[in-house]
Structure 1
């Protein structure tokens, strides 16, 4: 289980690192990010992975048990049929029709056989019930025929019996929830039927006593029948017509013998399959269960359930039973030990590579079972903690699949039950460990639920739930105290942090990230709600500062800031929290190994978001001379270059044309690079380059622009022709580069305003016709900085239509337009 959960912790990042954590956009459009619109967005999107269906048609291992039970039931029915026929034959024909011609010996033989058969039939009807009940009440040691020979000596050996009981009592004390805590009713296994020989006549032993009685009765009946059939001396009473008496007696003894032989054959077959062929161990191994007495008891109980159904209901009842449906029935009972056994069966199958698909599909779509499992999550009695933990583990697996996640969220009170797993407050070691287990399971379930967009709204409306989740993101937690060999109160600085506490922080951050990255109106409301929690940004700041050795946690934290920055109010809160912008810049400027580089990319993405339409964030960067120079240096890099370009563009929007030496130095370094990229590049790199070029041009005069073009050996006609070619290439808005045509038009307007020569060049290359073509294909897609799925966020100050109007007006008045200074 722990290995599976650890894999899940890292697998969830696959959909988070370069796009929306809600996996639909990353699956359907792998390269989409918050800078691009997602046309595939729908309410059906889901971040849940597909189930492993290596062999969905594989035979269920318990079929061997059900087939075994069916065969035994057929033998039992045949034996019972022959026994009934012999009983009727004896009572109606022999004792009724030939009673006066039977010899004394035959009369008593027939009578004894009938009594023996009657006793055997009666004991047989009760033996199944006794044996079935004993499997629930005697969990320590083999049950039924499997351990019959090994345990028979214990019936009459007080020492061994007492030792066995002490072992069982030890198990009961170690797991009080399994057997319940009430002492007001009798425990089945301890009921003494007689005041003497209590060990022999405890109810727990009655089932096996009945088995031995049946075997003894069958052997005795068989001996009597063989004796009479072998002798063939039925006597000849004087002066009496014997008629068909001998034939009737032979038929009776033959029927009785056949009945006994079938019964003994059934017992031998039973004993051979269990003891020699190791049927239970084989099924256990194929089910993926661990080899233990507990597993054997589990399968024993299932077998007796199937066998009793074949005998008491329908002989083909076994064909309709399996371990999953059996487990669901166990969950419905009010008996703790049965609840635990049912949850254990489900947990083993939902974690089995071969049977997880079918099990999760069946259980996840069963309203009754899911409601029962969710109800168990809120059980807080100490005696029920084992059931609660098992139920949480099963729910966590089912919630990892889309339909299961949706079904769980629809159950009334489900979120309240899940929230109860997040309780904290115990400060002793033992209780702290147990509490952390429940906390981890609760966060895992919430993480799975949050992966489904339609569940996010329900989580948002659940009172106090988001605040509780955010509490777990604190790396200086006021949580249950668990011993650590470190000395730092901050988990990230502890040399030997407790793994469960680190995992708690990571899972809580993953839940917050999934909620913050939700799309549409729900996403907007969630981002506002999260950002208004006064502690969240402070907690993330500590992670940015001390999370160098915990890259995954640091990466998730930065992604949370990125998505929160989609809300303008949240952006201002983040920028107002001291040190956050500087910490992000520090991470961005320190690329290292591949994992660290990924964190650097996330920091660049966050800074790009935080500087959009945020004068406070941009002014903080403009005030740092070395930051501007470092950003300029990074523009030429392959990986961090696009992020640095976006940041510089956003910062330049709030810069003013002046003699700022640092800004001037940054422009000198960047301008040649973006000019060359504008001429040569395509796609996203072209978009960010043209966008940055527009921002730089607005900070310089035309004369400097001319000098920069000459320096890179690009003439004015070449740049004008390139801009028109870009518009020609992108005749329609592209979701990959939704702002490219806008940037081209903005740059064209600046150049037209800067020089009449530029106006002539644009007219020469038929720019007016191209603008008309663009005007016919504009959409709302081009009017936004950011996108949450298919919803545009942070609208530009001017629409593309406004820009097209300005450009057209300049072209129409080209002859009378004078050269204006750039401002």
Structure 2
């Protein structure tokens, strides 16, 4: 039965890690009735990213494309500069100065060249836009075709509905037609952004064909410019019959210069087009790069878009801007686009790079650089001043979180691919998840020393879940004493260190003070694997005492939250394990863990009726706790646990708790001993006030005699405690409250034959003056059960001021 339950737990955990439900469907959206681990949306930081594809011996194949775009951009910019010079020279000098004296042939030649080149320059930018648009819509099979096919499908379904109506199936078909109509409307809305500017415009408005038309027109314009410029240069007589006239003597050299500029500009443009056609169409540059990058069958379209984007960057900005581009950054920009087809292109590029082995050597170098940087950061944050500076850097916590990536965060498809790649490539190093995990947890541990940094860590989405995930230690890991393989042994030690550091981080977070600590405790407790992971460490970690102590400390911190403490008690086996660690003094680790386990139990029982019932349900708990009062190492927490059980368990447990009266002699002796610590004194008096609920005055007198304590000495002891604590003490903030409560009970008790003894005795001890002094020095420090730093938690139900006033009224009630 237990093995079957364990298999179900492991299956459930794998389902949560893999992101798939039991039916095989994706559970990415998650169900509110099932837990899931947040997906890793920030990347691994060591894959085929932008930084991993620069430098070193590995040269990205797409650099061939960007360099070719640079060459074309140089020709384009040179042609543009010559064109601008020719345009200015023609408009200012020729048409401005010699317009009336130019021959008709020269005038129209200059005009045609200016108009043609102007149109070519203007259409150049539109050509790039059409080319980019064509790659945007090509993944979906065209922009306008989708809407046309959608319309045809709609018409076809309506026709089928009309035909079906004649056959007597009107209602069913109409319902299906309405559903089809809704589907087509949704589809058309989704594709609306991809539609061409003018719908149903046919072949002309298809983006790819429009770009081709503009390209042909540009080539024809440049060819005409070359022809006209060459013809103009061949004519030597440019000044008419009177070439020496003053108004025409500069006309010939002006025309020659213009024709030279126009010829050079058009020649450069034709050379650019010829180079483009040679490289793209004949040498198949894009196909070769796509093959080298392992982009697959669908890689040509995004690579074409990448080429035109790089070319546009070189032409529109600096000629070197396009050279800085790489496919990974380009893919990320496409994913952030508003167009579905562009997002699809970006995802496909990243998917192909994730499967590629070409960048593996560079990835290893990137890992080493990243690991060294992480180690440096871990050293820097060792000082509080540096920790504040590092945490204040935008994105620093997110960067640290990227170090906590594990194989369990990897999607199943990619995980299978990585396993296949690592098995097929012998001798190659795999990604060192654990090494980065240890450094990342160390950085978080040092950052969490500062209160403000704890808040930043808690605000980072998914980080707490990642830290909680590291606290999962399988029994095989905790019970493993050694290994025959040295490598396996080192891996096991590293895994244990990762669990330890994760527990240390959680301990710092749940023990944070103020509102920040309250929020963090609630968020950590809301992770459904937190308590179960801690339970596994308590159950199987006998060989790792430090891990068990840290797990107990985390449970104690979580128990300060009311909702979290009930969740801890509801988790099967936790209370039982804590009781076993606290009460089994014969165990070797009792001295180390019993104190923490006892404090955790006392915190769980504090102001929680349900938790008190869980504890009392265990076999022989009251008797075992009473026995623990005689053990010097256990008596402090045993007294705290018994007091909370008596105070908050409810009336239904009174019958079982009456056995606690057997502890009264030991508790009274602890109260009377001067050598006891202040904390134990506070706990013993507090337990006495709760045990007295099951006694009357006569029974209490018998308990005093049984403990060998005189009632006069007992009252004197209570008064001396109040004299010693004239002000609230931080170490024992509740001692004065407990003493006054015990004094009230004694004065209210009706001892047989001597009803007013304690009232008279307290008057002799000048208890009235002591109580009045206490009333003048009460503080909020005495109004809470526990504290988170300087913030009080679990406030007492009755104020200390009211308690002191009640004691004063009892002292003055019988005074004549």
TM superposition score normalised by structure 1? 0.51
2:559 corresponds in structure 1 to: 565
Aligned twin of 2:796: 796
1:406 lines up with 2:388 in the alignment: yes
Task: Give the corresponding residue for 2:670.
Answer: 677
Which residue is equivalent to 2:814?
A: 814
Shift of 1:573: 1.2
C-alpha deviation, 1:664, in angstroms: 4.0
For residues 535 and 558 of structure 1, the distance between their equivalents in structure 2, rounded to whole angstroms, comes to 16
Structure with higher RCO (Cα < 8 A, 6+ apart): 1
Query: Are the aligned partners of 2:53 and 2:60 in contact in 1 as well (CA < 8 Å)?
Result: no
Alpha carbons of 1:719 and 1:433: their partners in 2 closer, same or farther (altered >3 Å)? farther
Q: 2:59 corresponds to which residue?
A: 182
Offset at residue 665 of structure 1 (A): 4.0
Partner of residue 469, structure 1: 467
Consecutive unaligned residues of structure 2, counting only runs of 5 or more, are: 1-51, 64-323, 325-360, 408-414, 423-427, 484-488, 751-755
After TM superposition, give the deviation of residue 620 of structure 1 in Å: 1.9
Question: Map of 1:384-395 to 2, 5 A cutoff?
Answer: 384-395=366-377
Equivalent position of 1:450 in the other structure: 448
Instruction: Give the C-alpha shift of residue 416 in structure 1.
Output: 0.8
- In structure 1, how many angstroms separate the alpha carbons of the residues matched to 2:429 and 2:667? 60
- Structure 2 distance, partners of 1:552, 1:527, is 22
Partner of residue 766, structure 1: 766
Alpha-carbon distance in structure 2 between the residues aligned to 1:185 and 1:460: 41
SS of the residue 2:727 aligns to: coil
Residue 710 to residue 433, structure 1, CA distance change in 2 (3 Å): farther
Q: For the residues of structure 2 that align with 1:544 and 1:523, how far apart are their CA atoms?
A: 24
Do the aligned partners of 2:608 and 2:649 also contact (CA within 8 Å) in 1? no
Contact 2:478/2:544 (<8 A) preserved: no
Q: How far 1:658 sits from its partner (Å)?
A: 9.1
Q: Alpha-carbon deviation of 1:628?
A: 1.3
Matched residue, 1:705: 700
**Offset, 1:623:** 2.7
Task: Measure, in 2, the Cα distance between the counterparts of 1:380 and 1:587.
Answer: 51
Distance 1:659 1:543 in 2: 32
Question: What displacement does 1:674 show?
Answer: 1.2
Select which of 542, 549, 556 maps to 1:555.
549
Larger Rg: 2
Kindly provide the CA deviation profile for residues 358-401 of structure 1, in whole angstroms up to 9, marking residues without a partner as x.
xxxxxxxxxxxxxxxxxxxxx99554111101001111111122
- Rounded to whole Å, the distance in 2 between the matches of 1:588 and 1:380 is 54
Two-structure CA RMSD over aligned residues (Å): 2.8
Q: 1:721 aligns with which of 694, 716, 733?
A: 716
Task: State the match for 1:520 in structure 2.
Answer: 514
CA contact (8 A) 2:375 2:439 kept: yes
* Equivalences for residues 608-757 of structure 1 within 5 A: 608-655=602-649, 663-668=657-662, 670-680=663-673, 681-755=676-750, 756-757=756-757
Distance 1:594 1:473 in 2: 24
CA deviations 1:674-733 (Å, max 9, x no partner) are: 111211234111111111111111222222111101112222222111111110111011
| Pairs aligned (count) | 439
Partners of 1:561 and 1:542 in 2: how far apart? 13
Q: CA 1:609 to 1:775, structure 2 compared with 1: closer, same or farther past 3 Å?
A: same
Check 1:386–1:720 CA distance in 2 against 1; reply closer, same or farther (3 A cut).
same
Q: What residue is the counterpart of 2:783 in the other structure?
A: 783
Q: Which residue is 1:353 aligned to?
A: none
Match of 1:537 among 523, 531, 535: 531
Question: How far apart are the structure 1 equivalents of 2:430 and 2:551?
Answer: 26
SS at match of 1:181: coil
Is structure 2 residue 600 aligned with structure 1 residue 606?
yes
SS in 2 for 1:793: strand
Residues 622, 660 of structure 2: 8 Å contact kept: yes
1:417 aligns with 2:417: no
Work out the CA distance in 2 between the residues paired with 1:605 and 1:758. 35
CA separation in 2, counterparts of 1:695 and 1:382?
Answer: 66
The alpha-carbon deviation at position 611 of structure 1 amounts to 1.0
User: Does structure 2 conserve the Cα–Cα contact (< 8 Å) formed by 1:611 and 1:651?
Assistant: yes
1:674, 1:692 within 8 Å by CA — same for their partners in 2? yes
Counterpart pick for 2:495 among 498, 501, 504: 501
SS at match of 2:541: helix
Q: SS of 2:792's equivalent?
A: strand
CA distance in 1, matches of 2:508, 2:459: 16
What is the CA distance between 1:624 and its match in structure 2? Answer: 3.1
Q: Distance in 2 between matches of 1:703 and 1:594?
A: 43
